[in-house]
Amino acid sequence: MHLLKRKKTPKKEDEDNTKDEMDTSPDNSQADTDMVDRPSPNVGAGAGSSGGAVRPPRVPLNPSLMVDDDEEDEEELEKEVDEPETEEVNEDMGTQQLRFKKFSKLKKQPYLSSEFTAGDCKWHIKGYPYGSPNARPGHISMFLCVTDPQKMNYGWSKRTAFTLKLVNQTDPTKTYEKPLEHVFRSGESDWGISAFFSHNELEATPGFLVDDTVILQVDLQVFRTPTNMTWNFNWDSKVETGFVGIRNQGATCYLNSLLQALYHLGTFRKAVYLMPTQNDTPENSIPLALQRVFYRLQFDNDSSGTKELTAAFGWNKRQSYIQQDVQELNRVFCDNLEAKMKGTISDGMVERLFRGQLLKYIRCKNVTYESKRSEMYYDVSLNVKGMHNVYDSLNDYVSVETLSGDNKYDAGVHGLQDAEMGCAFLTLPPILELHLKRFVYDPETDRNGKINDRYEFPATLNLKRYLHKDADCSVKPLYRLYGVLVHSGDVHGGHYYAYIRPTTKAQWYKFDDERVTKARTKEVFEGTFGGEDKRHFRAADGKIVTFPVKKTANAYMLLYIRDADRDQLLASVPGEEIPAHLKERFDREEAEKAARKKEKEEAHLYLRARVARFSDYLAYHNVDLCDFENTPSFKVKKTATIKDLKNEVAAALNIPPHRQRYWLCFSRRNGTVRPDEPFSLRDMDAPLEKHLKRATELRFWLEESRAPEDCTDEEKLFHTPAAGEALMFFKYYDPATQKINMMNYAFVNTRDAISTVVPTLTEWAKLPPQTPLNLYEEIKPSMIDAVNPADTFKTAELGSGDIICYQTIPPPGSNYKLPTAQDYYLYMYNRLAVRFRALDKPTEDAHVFELTKSMTFDEIVAHLGPALNVDPAYIRLTAHSKIYEKPRITPIVRGNKEKLTEMLAGWGSAPASDILYYEVLTDYTLAELEANKLLKVDWYNSKTELVSSHKVLVPRTSRMNNVIAKIKEQVPEAAEADVRLLEVHNHRISRSISPEEPTSGYSEYGVFRAEAIPDEEKDKNAVRVQTVHFFIDIATYYFGTPFYFAIHKGEKFSEIKRRLQRKLDIPDEEFAKWKFGILHPYFGKVRYIEDLMKGEDGVLVDYMSGSDQLGLEHAMPKRQRIKRQAEMGVVINK
Task: For residues 220 and 118, give the distance between their C-alpha atoms in angstroms, rounded to a whole number.
Answer: 8
Task: For residues 677 and 830, give the distance between their C-alpha atoms in angstroms, rounded to a whole number.
Answer: 32
Tell me the mean pLDDT in the region 679-698. Answer: 84
What does the pLDDT read at residue 641? 93
Task: For residues 725 and 722, give the distance between their C-alpha atoms in angstroms, rounded to a whole number.
Answer: 5
Note whether 1058 and 1103 are within 8 A (CB): no
State the alpha helices, DSSP H only, in 654-810.
714-717, 758-764
Strands (DSSP E) contained in 668-758 are 673-678, 697-704, 725-734, 739-749
Note whether 1111 and 1104 are within 8 A (CB): no
What separation in angstroms does the CA of 240 have from each of 227, 305, 509? 12, 20, 11
Task: For residues 880 and 916, give the distance between their C-alpha atoms in angstroms, rounded to a whole number.
Answer: 6
Task: For residues 935 and 949, give the distance between their C-alpha atoms in angstroms, rounded to a whole number.
Answer: 11
Model confidence band, residue 593 (pLDDT cutoffs 50, 70, 90): confident
* Residue 871: other Cβ atoms inside 10 A: 12
What does the pLDDT read at residue 284? 83
φ, ψ for residue 797 (rounded to 5)?
60, 45
The alpha carbon of 1122 is separated from its chain's Cα centroid by a whole number of angstroms, namely 17
Task: For residues 701 and 851, give the distance between their C-alpha atoms in angstroms, rounded to a whole number.
Answer: 33
What separation in angstroms does the CA of 818 have from each of 516, 589, 783? 70, 54, 16
What does the pLDDT read at residue 542? 61
- Residues with a catalytic annotation lie at 253, 495
What does the pLDDT read at residue 260? 95
Residue 1132 has pLDDT above 90, yes or no: no
What does the pLDDT read at residue 933? 85
Give 214's contacts (C-beta < 8 A, 6+ positions apart). Answer: 99, 100, 103, 129, 140, 166, 202, 208
Question: Can you say whether the dihedral through the CA atoms of 484, 488, 491, 494 is positive or negative?
Answer: negative
Residue 790 has pLDDT above 90, yes or no: yes
Model confidence band, residue 14 (pLDDT cutoffs 50, 70, 90): very low
What separation in angstroms does the CA of 580 have from each of 139, 274, 383, 587? 60, 10, 46, 10
Tell me the mean pLDDT in the region 414-433. Answer: 93
Q: What pairing do the DSSP bridges indicate for beta strands 139-146 and 122-128?
A: antiparallel
Looking at the DSSP bridge assignments, the partners of residue 636 are 607
Model confidence band, residue 3 (pLDDT cutoffs 50, 70, 90): very low
- pLDDT of 316-366, one tens digit each? 888 888 878 888 888 888 888 888 899 899 999 999 999 999 999 999 999
Q: What is the DSSP string of 411-468?
A: -GGG-EE-EEEEEEEEE--SEEEEEEE-EEEETTTTEEEE-----B--SEEE-GGGBB
Give 184's contacts (C-beta < 8 A, 6+ positions apart). Answer: 146, 149, 157, 158, 160, 191
- pLDDT of 740-755, one tens digit each? 999 999 999 999 999 9
Model confidence band, residue 10 (pLDDT cutoffs 50, 70, 90): very low
Model confidence band, residue 63 (pLDDT cutoffs 50, 70, 90): low
Task: For residues 892 and 881, give the distance between their C-alpha atoms in angstroms, rounded to a whole number.
Answer: 12
Task: For residues 312 and 452, give the distance between their C-alpha atoms in angstroms, rounded to a whole number.
Answer: 35
Residue 50 has pLDDT above 90, yes or no: no
What does the pLDDT read at residue 234? 65
Model confidence band, residue 910 (pLDDT cutoffs 50, 70, 90): confident
The secondary structure of residue 41, as a DSSP letter, is: -
Q: Among residues 492, 538, 545, 498, which one has the least CA distance to residue 517?
A: 498
- pLDDT of 436-475, one tens digit each? 999 887 666 666 788 999 999 999 999 999 999 888 888 9
What does the pLDDT read at residue 53? 52
Looking at the DSSP bridge assignments, the partners of residue 246 are 304
What does the pLDDT read at residue 225? 54
What does the pLDDT read at residue 2? 31
* CB neighbour class for 283 (10 Å; exposed up to 12, middle 13-18, buried from 19): exposed
What separation in angstroms does the CA of 128 have from each of 108, 193, 870? 7, 11, 58
Residue 535 has pLDDT above 80, yes or no: no
What does the pLDDT read at residue 273? 94
What separation in angstroms does the CA of 710 have from each of 658, 705, 714, 1025? 11, 11, 12, 107
CA end-to-end distance (rounded Å), the chain: 49
Model confidence band, residue 44 (pLDDT cutoffs 50, 70, 90): very low
Note whether 933 and 956 are within 8 A (CB): yes
Residue 309 has pLDDT above 50, yes or no: yes
Tell me the mean pLDDT in the region 710-732. Answer: 90
What does the pLDDT read at residue 1064? 92
Tell me the mean pLDDT in the region 918-926. Answer: 90
* CB neighbour class for 781 (10 Å; exposed up to 12, middle 13-18, buried from 19): middle
Residue 142 has pLDDT above 90, yes or no: yes
What does the pLDDT read at residue 538? 60
- Which residue has better confidence, 55 or 584? 584
- pLDDT of 1098-1113, one tens digit each? 998 888 887 889 999 9
**Averaged confidence pLDDT in the chain:** 85
Q: What pairing do the DSSP bridges indicate for beta strands 803-808 and 725-734?
A: parallel
Say how many CA atoms lie within 13 Å of 528 toward its Cβ. Answer: 30
What does the pLDDT read at residue 1? 31
Model confidence band, residue 813 (pLDDT cutoffs 50, 70, 90): confident
Model confidence band, residue 229 (pLDDT cutoffs 50, 70, 90): very low
Full-model pTM: 0.57
Task: For residues 937 and 1004, give the distance between their C-alpha atoms in angstroms, rounded to a whole number.
Answer: 10
Task: For residues 308 and 292, give the distance between their C-alpha atoms in angstroms, rounded to a whole number.
Answer: 9
- Proportion of the chain above pLDDT 90, given as a percent: 54
Task: For residues 477 and 69, give the distance between their C-alpha atoms in angstroms, rounded to a whole number.
Answer: 13
Tell me the mean pLDDT in the region 653-672. Answer: 92
Number of residues that make up the chain: 1134
What does the pLDDT read at residue 240? 85
- pLDDT of 368-391, one tens digit each? 999 999 999 999 999 999 999 999
Note whether 939 and 965 are within 8 A (CB): no
990: part of which helix (H) or strand (E)? strand 988-993
What does the pLDDT read at residue 326? 85
Q: What is the DSSP string of 68-136?
A: PGGG--PPPEEPP-PPP-PPPEEEEEEEEEEEEETGGG--SS-EE---EE-SSSEEEEEEETT--TTSP
What does the pLDDT read at residue 23? 33
- pLDDT of 1050-1080, one tens digit each? 899 999 999 999 999 999 989 999 999 999 8
Residue 34 has pLDDT above 50, yes or no: no
Residue 536 has pLDDT above 80, yes or no: no
What does the pLDDT read at residue 537? 64
In 239-256, which positions are buried (b, 16+ CB within 10 angstroms) versus exposed (e)?
A: eebebbbbebbebbbbbb
Strand order in the sheet with 1075-1079: 1036-1048, 1022-1032, 1109-1113, 1075-1079, 1086-1088
Q: Among residues 900, 871, 868, 905, which one has the least CA distance to residue 888?
A: 905
Model confidence band, residue 293 (pLDDT cutoffs 50, 70, 90): very high
Task: For residues 802 and 730, give the distance between their C-alpha atoms in angstroms, rounded to a whole number.
Answer: 9
* Residue 1064: other Cβ atoms inside 10 A: 21
The secondary structure of residue 751, as a DSSP letter, is: T
- Proportion of the chain above pLDDT 70, given as a percent: 88
- pLDDT of 204-228, one tens digit each? 889 999 999 999 999 998 886 544 4
Residue 552 has pLDDT above 60, yes or no: yes
φ, ψ for residue 369 (rounded to 5)?
-150, 130
Note whether 194 and 133 are within 8 A (CB): no
Q: Among residues 1120, 1111, 1091, 1121, which one has the least CA distance to residue 1036?
A: 1111
Q: Is 518 strand, coil or helix?
A: strand
Q: Is 233 strand, coil or helix?
A: coil
Q: Which of 12-16, 448-452, 521-525 has the lowest mean pLDDT?
A: 12-16
- pLDDT of 152-178, one tens digit each? 877 788 888 899 999 999 998 889 988
Note whether 488 and 452 are within 8 A (CB): no
Q: Among residues 398, 493, 481, which one has the least CA distance to residue 57?
A: 398
Model confidence band, residue 1133 (pLDDT cutoffs 50, 70, 90): low
What does the pLDDT read at residue 93? 84
Q: Among residues 1011, 1012, 982, 1003, which one has the least CA distance to residue 994?
A: 982
Note whether 460 and 479 are within 8 A (CB): yes
Task: For residues 117 and 222, give the distance between their C-alpha atoms in angstroms, rounded to a whole number.
Answer: 10
Residue 7 has pLDDT above 60, yes or no: no
* Residue 25: other Cβ atoms inside 10 A: 16
